[in-house]
Amino acid sequence: MNEFTAERIVKSYTMHLCAPPSDVFPLLCPVREYQWIEPWSCDMVFSTGGRAENNAVFTTDFETQCGTEIWVVCRYEKDRAIEFVRVTPGLKVNRLDISLNAAENGSLSIWTHTFTGLSEAGNQWIRNLTDETFELEKAAVEKMLNHYLETGAMLKMADLNIETRYYGQDSNH
């Protein structure tokens, strides 16, 4: 009998974006993220249209984010919401739910992550994720997205002027 008991945390961040949902939503796609996230890299596994769509599958492999992740788009409501289930095999599951709502001068976007450990190492990763680290990473994403929406150009990591850390990592990684 397995003695492992999974741990879970839920963290949310509200982004104030400078464009309407119809301009933001298309950018929440693994193919379009090459335009505004540095560094971004993915391998599309399955998509009938070649972009984000319901049931699309892609992978990423970022050392600072625990290595290979398998992403599945499990909700796709054009200009309103997109949800991904991200699995880091043997470590954790991260359900990422992104909602978009029209607001004065743009959009409000709520990014809710539900992290569940798949192993003791995954549980430890969850325990190490501080509110500060989570908020710094989301603030960096918000700044990159707003910069792209305002200028049509990618904001380079060196120009972020935000101390960037990654989930489960200290600032030395």
pLDDT (tens digit per residue) in 117-167: 999 999 999 999 999 999 999 999 999 999 999 999 999 988 887 655 444
Residue 2 falls inside a structural domain:
no
How confident is the model at residue 62, as a pLDDT?
Answer: 87
Residue 3 falls inside a structural domain:
no
Those residues whose C-beta lies under 8 Å from the C-beta of residue 88, and which sit 6 or more positions away, are 66, 67, 68, 69, 94, 118, 122
Tokens of 20: 């309407």
DSSP states along 60-78: EEEGGGTEEEEEEEEEEET
How confident is the model at residue 66, as a pLDDT?
Answer: 81
Residue 164 falls inside a structural domain:
no
Is-contact 110 13, C-beta < 8 A?
Answer: yes
Residue 113 falls inside a structural domain:
yes
Expressed as residue numbers, the domain containing 86 is 8-159
Q: How many domains does the chain have?
A: 1
Residue 110 falls inside a structural domain:
yes
Residue that is written with structure tokens 């699309």 in the block? 56
Residue 171 falls inside a structural domain:
no
How confident is the model at residue 112, as a pLDDT?
Answer: 98
Measured in whole angstroms, the distance separating CA 65 from the mean position of its chain's CA atoms is 11
CATH number of residue 83's parent domain: 3.30.530.20
Residues of the chain with pLDDT under 70: 1, 162-173
Residue 114 falls inside a structural domain:
yes
Those residues whose C-beta lies under 8 Å from the C-beta of residue 146, and which sit 6 or more positions away, are 17, 18
Residue 132 falls inside a structural domain:
yes
